[in-house]
């Protein structure tokens, strides 16, 4: 599932690094909207309310590939590992993610971490998305 994993060094004052993970499931992972909705569901308001209406979604095309994005800030509450009953509880986090539709199937790029660290890396995240292509 995990094709690659990267550390984004923490910004001054943040408690930890962020991470970028690239996933590929071989085309067996649900619709673009279902995955983006799941990611949004991994973030909550401090009072536990959903952030669906505050998430920013986007769509573009890069070198012939459709790229759908999401950006949301809040408390990170994803499962600590798939299927686990334990969840993270990390307030002040930001999630930037993209679904990249390729002829082989979709690739998923997800960056999560302290909001200031993710903001500092946002330009590089956009450059990564702008550099995408598909080798035939």
The phi, psi pair for 30, rounded to 5°, reads 85, 175
Q: Is residue 49 part of a domain?
A: yes
Provide the 3-class DSSP secondary structure of residue 86: coil
Q: Is residue 80 part of a domain?
A: yes
Residue 36 confidence (pLDDT): 94
Report the C-alpha gap between 92 and 81 in whole angstroms. Answer: 20
Residues linked to residue 96 through DSSP beta bridges, in sequence order = 71, 111
pLDDT digit string (tens) for the chain, length 136 residues: 789 999 999 999 999 999 999 999 887 778 899 999 999 999 998 777 777 788 999 999 999 999 999 999 999 988 887 778 888 889 999 999 999 999 989 999 999 999 999 999 999 999 999 999 887 6
Surface-to-core class of residue 34, CB atoms within 10 Å of its CB (0-12 exposed, 13-18 middle, 19+ buried): exposed
DSSP string, 104-125: TEEEEEEEEEEHHHHHHHHHHH
Residue 39 confidence (pLDDT): 93
The enclosing H or E element of 134 equals none
Q: Is residue 103 part of a domain?
A: yes
- Per the structure, the complete domain to which residue 56 belongs is given by 2-10+18-130
Q: Is residue 25 part of a domain?
A: yes
Q: Is residue 136 part of a domain?
A: no
Q: Is residue 85 part of a domain?
A: yes
Domain count, the chain: 1
Place of tokens 């299927």: 83
Say which CATH number the domain at 31 has. 3.40.1000
Residue 78 confidence (pLDDT): 87
* Distance from the first to the final alpha carbon of the chain: 21
């Amino acid at each position: 599932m995990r094709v690659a994993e990267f550390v984004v060094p923490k910004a001054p004052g943040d408690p930890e690094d962020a991470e970028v993970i690239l996933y590929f499931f071989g085309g067996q992972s649900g619709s673009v909207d279902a995955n983006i909705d799941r990611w949004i569901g991994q973030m909550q308001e401090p009072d536990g309310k959903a952030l669906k209406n505050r998430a920013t979604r986007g769509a573009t095309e890069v070198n012939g590939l459709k790229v759908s994005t999401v950006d949301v800030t809040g408390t990170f509450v994803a499962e600590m590992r798939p299927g686990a009953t334990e969840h993270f509880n990390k307030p002040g986090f930001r999630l930037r993610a993209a679904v990249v539709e390729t002829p082989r199937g979709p690739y998923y790029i997800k960056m999560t971490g302290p909001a200031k660290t993710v903001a500092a890396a946002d330009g590089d995240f956009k450059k990564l998305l702008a550099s995408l292509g598909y080798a035939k």
